[in-house]
């Protein structure tokens, strides 16, 4: 584990999420998508940590680097935990549309195939509304925290550079 992620890993995101359990992460199903797919939150680090960092990836489903980055972060953190911080991450917020994009990927992924991924809706823009059950589930999960010291939402400049991600 901890190896570099590959584009093909988009086809096995749920497996990769479950595998973080074996590395010591807590995997929790926090809700269900509109089409019935599980939405997971994965937490790593000391439960008594004084700092909590929350990250949500995949609110824009075509920005497929974000879920891969989230899982890579989780793998790295399970190997090299930062004692005073607990990291709580939703690796795939829009599981329905991310899986559509993953299904569209051929065996040999090219830049053009990544640029052509087009299953996306604006969960980020509707995050605070009740439009999407995914956003409602994630917001309810966020309410369980006593405090959140930092919050990141992972995105990429999809149409320009699908491999460049930002928060
Ligand atoms: Zn975005």
Of 162, 44, 51, the closest CA to residue 113 belongs to 162
Q: How far is the CA of 46 from the centre of ligand 1 (A)?
A: 30
Could you read off the pLDDT of 96-117 as tens digits, one per residue? Answer: 999 999 999 998 888 889 889 9
Residue 2 has pLDDT above 90, yes or no: no
β-strand pairing of 165-166 with 26-32: unpaired
- Least confident range of 68-72, 110-114, 159-163: 159-163
Average pLDDT, whole number, for the chain?
Answer: 92
Distance 100 CA to ligand 1 centre (A): 17
Model confidence at 1: pLDDT above 50: no
pLDDT in tens, 81-95: 777 899 999 999 999
For position 14, what pLDDT does the model report? 96
Q: Which residues contact 109 (CB under 8 A, 6 or more apart)?
A: 7, 8
Q: What is the CB neighbour count within 10 angstroms for residue 94?
A: 30
**What is the reported pLDDT for 33?**
98
Q: Report DSSP state, residue 25.
A: -
State mean pLDDT over 22-45: 97
Q: Is the pLDDT of residue 158 over 80?
A: no
Q: Is the dihedral of CA 136, 87, 28, 119 positive or negative?
A: positive
* pTM of the entire predicted model: 0.93
> Order of strands across the sheet with 85-90?
26-32, 38-44, 85-90, 51-57, 150-156, 165-166
In the chain, where are the structural domains located?
7-166
Q: How confident is the model at residue 157 (pLDDT cuts 50, 70, 90)?
A: confident
What phi, psi does 122 have (nearest 5°)?
-95, 75
The string of pLDDT tens digits covering residues 116-153 is 999 999 999 999 999 999 999 999 999 999 999 999 99
pLDDT over 90 at 72, yes or no: yes
Query: Which pLDDT score, from 0 to 100, does residue 18 have?
Result: 97
CA of 156 to the centre of ligand 1 (A): 6
| Pair of tokens at residue 34 | 């509109």
Q: Tell which residue, 80, 70, 94, has the closest CA to residue 17.
A: 70
Rounded (10°) CA dihedral 16, 17, 18, 22: 80
- Separation of CA 28 and ligand 1 centre (Å): 24
Q: Which CATH fold would you assign to the domain 7-166?
A: Aminopeptidase (3.40.630)
11 Cα: distance to centroid of ligand 1 (angstroms): 20
131 CA from centroid of ligand 1 (Å): 17
């Amino acid at each position: 584990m901890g190896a570099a992620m590959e584009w093909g890993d988009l086809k096995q995101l749920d497996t990769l999420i479950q595998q973080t359990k074996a590395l010591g992460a807590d995997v929790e199903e926090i809700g269900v998508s509109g089409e019935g797919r599980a939405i997971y939150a994965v937490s790593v680090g000391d439960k008594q940590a004084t700092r909590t960092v929350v990250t949500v990836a995949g609110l824009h489903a075509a920005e497929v680097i974000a879920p891969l980055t989230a899982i890579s972060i989780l793998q790295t953190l399970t190997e090299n935990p930062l004692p005073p911080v607990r990291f709580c991450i939703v690796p795939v917020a829009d599981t329905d549309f991310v899986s559509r994009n993953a299904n569209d990927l051929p065996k040999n992924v090219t830049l053009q195939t990544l640029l052509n991924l087009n299953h996306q809706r604006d969960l980020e823009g509707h995050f605070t509304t009740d439009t999407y059950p995914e956003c409602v589930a994630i917001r309810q999960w966020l309410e369980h925290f006593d405090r959140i010291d930092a919050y990141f939402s992972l995105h990429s400049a999809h149409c320009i550079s699908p491999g460049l991600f930002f928060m």
